[in-house]
Structure 1
Amino acid sequence: MLPFSLAQAAISLDRTRVIFGGDNKSVSLNIRNDNKELPYLAQAWVENEQSQKVSGPIVVLPPLQRVEPGAGGQVKLVKTPEVASLPEDRESLFYFNLREVPPRSEQANTMQIALQTKIKLFYRPKAITPNTGDVWQERLAVSIAGHGFQIENPTPYYVTISDMQDSSDKRESSEFTPVMLPPFSSRQIALTAGIITSPVLTFINDYGGYQKQKYACEATRCQIKKSR
């Protein structure tokens, strides 16, 4: 039998998502080795929307580095000339991957696990740079459709809805399965349990934080309920 313990990541990342603005040449991410005793290798790469590893239009430098015990490091996301092929009127979705490679164990018959972090990477063209304080999630069109809701995203940004519940529901979160709406798209959300008459949607913002938005529905149309 191989000895094992609960796996805990050694290499950590300083964020849960990346926004790469079109007016930037690069974006730097901070990483850290939380293991105080052993050095680790940190391997990083970018995937496209289909989770296929790509060599452009965004690349990672360096793709592999050694991080000493308890020390920090940095990886840089850099644009390549292929970025010119991306749409200018909407965001493009990629994924940033960070895998830790542990040092070889000196013990025999030991199973080692290389843990990996995968976060969303949004390329945001300069032409759609939002104004300070702009909350584009408020521009979603929400309507009642059958046993659920139809949600339309008329914006050039990806919008992630992490939770949806009724305003009378006092739980921190429900059993809602998070959904991500691409730019200029719509999605029908079926309710599998409970009844929602006054929906409260929870969005994830650029910084990975959560923002709640209440709606009031009349007939089939729902409007944002402004707080007084």
Structure 2
Amino acid sequence: MKRTLLCGRAWGLLVAACLMIAQAQASIVITGTRVVYDASQREVTVKLSNDGQSPMLVQSWIDEGNVQATPDTSAAPFVLTPPIARIDPSKGQALRIRYTGQKVLPQDSESLFWLNVLEVPPSSAEGQNRLKIAFRSRVKLFYRPAGLPGNVTAAAEQLQWRLRRNGPDWALECRNDSPYYVTLGKVSVSSNGQTASPTLDINSSMLAPGEQKMMPLKNSAVLGSGGKVDYTSISDLGATIEHSQSLKP
């Protein structure tokens, strides 16, 4: 999950008002670390809860991967109900998401979108011009066509791994032949009695259906061409699954 810190003096729900980005603790909590929209369902529900001590105004929308997209500019083919809501302390709100069909999505693989939840403290009578801090949370939304073979855990288990030369060091090649998005956690390579790990971020840790990535390994010159890779993947429920595979020649 990514959280963006937005600052502004007047109450507003405008992403364009973003002045700084930082990791922070939000009051509004999204149940789960990802949303899976199975096409066999008419809609999916995401639960929001207010763990803070003040009521919050919440605006929600879905984008196609552009972090700068706003509710007005996003063309994601989904409708959220309610798009704006007030959530009191220790209370919750069910957010309903429905695919509109206005954009034809692939039927042989998953599609990736992002659910945005922006929270802003409501205005108070005594502090109209006081600084307010808004938090935006983003979680992945996977649209999953009906009838896809296998499942996301099996897809992670079947990743193809190889070591490739990268100058004096090595790089880890990973290929995802499945129709599912696979999100990795930790990755470690063992070879010739030595270990090395790639540096993963929110982009390099996720493989799209059919995607192949090269992950540079630091200080890996002593590695050989064989060995094994130990890694973790994230399930639909956000659980960490451990895997181990021999490296392909």
Alignment of 1:76-95 (within 5 A): 76-83=96-103, 85-95=104-114
Q: For the Cα contact (< 8 Å) 1:21–1:129, is it kept in 2?
A: no
C-alpha distance in 2, partners of 1:149/1:35?
Answer: 43
- Offset of 1:175 from its aligned partner? 6.7
Fraction of identical pairs, as percent:
31
Alignment of 1:89-104 (within 5 A): 89-104=108-123
Please name the residue that 2:177 is paired with.
154
Q: Choose from 83, 86, 107 the match for 1:63.
A: 83
Range moving further from structure 2, 67-76 or 99-108: 99-108
C-alpha distance in 1, partners of 2:163/2:189?
Answer: 13
- Offset of 1:109 from its aligned partner? 6.7
The answer to whether structure 1 residue 182 and structure 2 residue 216 are counterparts is no
Change in CA separation of 1:42 and 1:193 when aligned onto 2, cut-off 3 Å: farther
Change in CA separation of 1:193 and 1:27 when aligned onto 2, cut-off 3 Å: farther
Counterpart amino acid of residue 82 in structure 2: P
- Offset of 1:75 from its aligned partner? 0.6
Q: For the Cα contact (< 8 Å) 2:82–2:96, is it kept in 1?
A: yes
- Offset of 1:71 from its aligned partner? 0.9
Q: For the Cα contact (< 8 Å) 2:175–2:210, is it kept in 1?
A: yes
Counterpart amino acid of residue 242 in structure 2: K
- What is the DSSP-based 3-state SS (H/G/I as helix, E as strand, rest coil) of the residue aligned with 1:128? coil
The answer to whether structure 1 residue 21 and structure 2 residue 41 are counterparts is no
Give the TM-score, by structure 1 length: 0.81
Contiguous gaps of at least 5 residues in structure 2: 1-22
C-alpha distance in 2, partners of 1:141/1:77?
Answer: 34
Deviations 1:197-217 (A, max 9, x none): 432111111111111211233
- What is the DSSP-based 3-state SS (H/G/I as helix, E as strand, rest coil) of the residue aligned with 1:135? helix
Please name the residue that 1:224 is paired with.
none
Please name the residue that 1:48 is paired with.
64
Q: Choose from 26, 45, 50 the match for 1:33.
A: 50
Aligned residues: 208
C-alpha distance in 1, partners of 2:147/2:42?
Answer: 15
Q: For the Cα contact (< 8 Å) 2:64–2:76, is it kept in 1?
A: no
Deviations 1:59-98 (A, max 9, x none): 2111100111221111111110225x10100000000000
Deviations 1:108-147 (A, max 9, x none): 874221011100000000031646x962211111111111
- What is the DSSP-based 3-state SS (H/G/I as helix, E as strand, rest coil) of the residue aligned with 2:106? coil
Contiguous gaps of at least 5 residues in structure 1: 1-5, 222-228
